[in-house]
Amino acid sequence: MPALKTASVRQTYASIQRLTDQLYSELGQSSFKHWLDDRKVAKKLDERVHEWAYQAKNNLDTQHPYLAEVDQLEFWLAQSDVNVTQLQQMQQQYQIMLERLASSQLLDTWHYVDGQLNDTSVQLYFQMLKDKWQRKLTEAIAHWEFEQLALMRDAFLQDIQDFLLSLQKMSKHQDSLGTDTGIFIDYSRGKLTPEAVEKFEQWSEYLASDVALQRLCKLIGSAQPAHSARKRVAVQWQSQPDSAVIQQASDEIAGIQLGRELTWALPNELALLADPDLQILFDLKYLEANISSFHLQGQQASRLLDDAKPKKKPMAKKGPMIVCLDTSGSMHGQPELISKAMCLYLSMQALREKRPMYLINFSTNLTAIELKKGQAIDDVLEFLSQSFHGGTDIIPAMQHAVDMLTQPSFRQADIVVISDFIMGQLGTELMQSIEQHKQQGTGFYAVAIGNFRFDHLDKGLFDHQWIYQSATGKVLELLDQPLSKMTSK
């Protein structure tokens, strides 16, 4: 490399190093200085600083405004002597450079260089002009590089501060998400938008405020029969009494209660359905949970998950998971907030455990994202921020989820559907395909958001069915009982 370019490169690296030192110094004096003591954060910062320095050098090389002048000067520096004509040509090039630099510091005597000068004078002028040209050009390059690097450094420092601010906000919620700060470092490109961080905080805060929902998320994440022969996963309960919620099979009538239970509805209530003029009254009573029915005592068909904690037991290696997230219009508002908080928890756990995960966002359309090696939390939050708010069509989402089971990384994956389940029946062919995959080890799980039941779905579709009652904050699990024939909305 020519000497001039070598010196320029050294100067550039020295400038980058000075600005890098300034950057660390400013961070060390800022409100984020405590992060510099965190090993993972410090390592991440070093990586990003090195990336910035490399990119800054490339930007300077590609945007250099004086490459032509450098090449011209390199040519003259390579000459040991020149004649009068060459000196005049060199002087013209130097004059053009000075005009570009808006400088007029040109020796007047150079205007009188002509053929009458002897060779000694020509060589003297030649050496003087080379020195002056090199000094002027070096100063111009240094000034330009300083301005460019200062702009790049300021932008980079702002990015770093935004990253640390996002990290600071997100790390406050690591307990509710069952993870640690390292996850935010390992799986972030540092390009989180303020809107994405705000969504993250909103979902995390909801999780933190709802212990029952946290338990449900943990149960979904651990009740997966991964990479094993098909078998039912039973939930083990402590010996303390459980609270009955819905009773479908019983030995004794204990009284009358109001609700939506149609299996044991009083005859006079069902008689309303026989009169077309009174059907609307029945529908209203059903929607308001004012159907009179027998209150039974006996075998329980569901339990309150927040009234008893499952016993700890050794868990098998967790396999892949496919989550279908309903963002249709009927989920708008709190149901969507709850469902996305659950998806965030499951996603963070999948990243922490390096567990393959596939998210499907559906309404009448669908989008999907795969959480895999190199995936960033930035992408997950951007994906979860999407909503369709249209009609509900679970069939394409379920078909897509079943199709994913043929992929090598998602064989025997467990499928979780989070929805309000205001939807129709699945087709016979799809149900047959689901049953085949269930026999091969795939688990199918459903979480209903709202005060709804699964009765309008096919019997036996889901291995576990949970209901999150958003009005009360209670989580119910429907156990294996014959499902009553309730009308769907």
> What would the pLDDT profile of 80-93 be if each residue is shown by its tens digit?
999 988 988 998 89
Residues 6+ apart with CB under 8 A from 138: 7, 8, 11
Question: Could you give the 3-state DSSP secondary structure of residue 263?
Answer: coil
In the prediction, which pLDDT does 403 show?
94
Question: At residue 313, does pLDDT exceed 90?
Answer: no
Question: At residue 261, does pLDDT exceed 90?
Answer: no
Structure tokens at 188: 């972030």
Q: Which residue has the higher pLDDT, 188 or 331?
A: 331
Structure tokens at 337: 């907030």
The dihedral of CA 479, 482, 484, 489: what is its sign? Answer: positive
What are the residue boundaries of the structural domains of the chain, listed by start?
A: 1-171, 252-298, 305-478
| Segment holding 447, helix H or strand E | strand 444-449
Question: At residue 283, does pLDDT exceed 60?
Answer: yes
In the prediction, which pLDDT does 14 show?
86
Confidence (pTM): 0.65
Segment 4-27 mean pLDDT: 84
Would you tell me the crossing angle of helices 334-352 and 211-222 to the nearest 10 degrees? 50
pLDDT one-digit tens code per residue, 391-411 = 888 889 999 999 999 999 898
**313: amino acid identity, one letter:** K
In the prediction, which pLDDT does 75 show?
92
**180: amino acid identity, one letter:** D
Segment 324-336 mean pLDDT: 89
Determine contact, residues 405/360, Cβ cutoff 8 Å.
Answer: no
Angle at 299 between CA 446 and CA 484, to 5 degrees: 50
Share of the chain above pLDDT 70, in %: 75
**53: amino acid identity, one letter:** A
Question: At residue 443, does pLDDT exceed 70?
Answer: yes
Q: Which residue has the higher pLDDT, 301 or 277?
A: 277
pLDDT one-digit tens code per residue, 206-254 = 888 888 888 888 888 665 443 344 444 333 333 334 444 443 444 456 5
Burial of 486 (0-12, 13-18, 19+ CB in 10 A): middle
Question: At residue 484, does pLDDT exceed 70?
Answer: no
Q: Band the pLDDT of 358: cuts 50, 70, 90.
A: very high
Pick the CATH number of 305-478 from 3.50.50.60, 3.40.640.10, 3.40.50.720, 3.40.50.410: 3.40.50.410
**465: amino acid identity, one letter:** Q
Q: Which residue has the higher pLDDT, 22 or 259?
A: 22
**12: amino acid identity, one letter:** T
In the prediction, which pLDDT does 280 show?
66
Sheet containing 357-362: order of strands: 302-304, 474-478, 464-469, 444-449, 414-419, 321-326, 357-362, 366-371
In the prediction, which pLDDT does 301 show?
45
pLDDT one-digit tens code per residue, 115-130 = 567 888 888 989 999 9
In the prediction, which pLDDT does 10 show?
82
Burial of 425 (0-12, 13-18, 19+ CB in 10 A): middle
Question: At residue 196, does pLDDT exceed 50?
Answer: yes
Segment 162-185 mean pLDDT: 84
In the prediction, which pLDDT does 371 show?
84
Q: Tell me the C-alpha distance between 254 and 248, whole Å.
A: 13
Q: Band the pLDDT of 109: cuts 50, 70, 90.
A: very low
Q: What is the mean pLDDT of the chain?
A: 78
Q: Tell me the C-alpha distance between 366 and 279, whole Å.
A: 36
Closest CA to 149 of 30, 39, 55, 251: 55
What 8-12 contacts at long range (C-beta under 8 Å, 24+ apart), as own/partner pairs, is 8/70, 8/138, 8/141, 11/138, 11/141, 11/142, 11/145, 12/57, 12/60, 12/145
Q: Tell me the C-alpha distance between 84 and 116, whole Å.
A: 9
Determine contact, residues 333/420, Cβ cutoff 8 Å.
Answer: no
Tally DSSP H helices, then E strands, for the chain. Answer: 14, 10
Question: At residue 194, does pLDDT exceed 90?
Answer: no
Question: At residue 429, does pLDDT exceed 50?
Answer: yes
In the prediction, which pLDDT does 244 show?
42
| Segment holding 94, helix H or strand E | helix 84-100
In the prediction, which pLDDT does 407 show?
92
Lowest mean pLDDT among 181-195, 250-264, 340-354: 250-264
Segment 187-200 mean pLDDT: 81
Determine contact, residues 293/269, Cβ cutoff 8 Å.
Answer: yes
Structure tokens at 53: 């320095």
Quickly tell me which residue has 């009573």 as its tokens. Answer: 285
Question: At residue 322, does pLDDT exceed 90?
Answer: yes
In the prediction, which pLDDT does 112 show?
45
pLDDT one-digit tens code per residue, 466-480 = 888 777 778 877 765
In the prediction, which pLDDT does 401 show?
94
Closest CA to 69 of 134, 144, 149, 2: 134
Q: Tell me the C-alpha distance between 412 and 405, whole Å.
A: 7
- DSSP category for residue 456: T
Q: Tell me the C-alpha distance between 137 and 143, whole Å.
A: 10
Structure tokens at 484: 């009553």
pLDDT one-digit tens code per residue, 48-74 = 889 898 899 898 888 888 888 889 999
Count Cβ atoms below 10 Å from residue 75 Cβ, excluding itself.
12
Structure tokens at 253: 């009538």
Quickly tell me which residue has 């950057």 as its tokens. Answer: 23
Lowest mean pLDDT among 31-35, 168-172, 374-378: 374-378
Segment 29-43 mean pLDDT: 88
In sequence order, what are the beta bridge partners of 362?
326, 366
Structure tokens at 206: 């909801």
Determine contact, residues 345/217, Cβ cutoff 8 Å.
Answer: yes
Share of the chain above pLDDT 90, in %: 15
pLDDT one-digit tens code per residue, 409-425 = 898 899 999 988 877 77
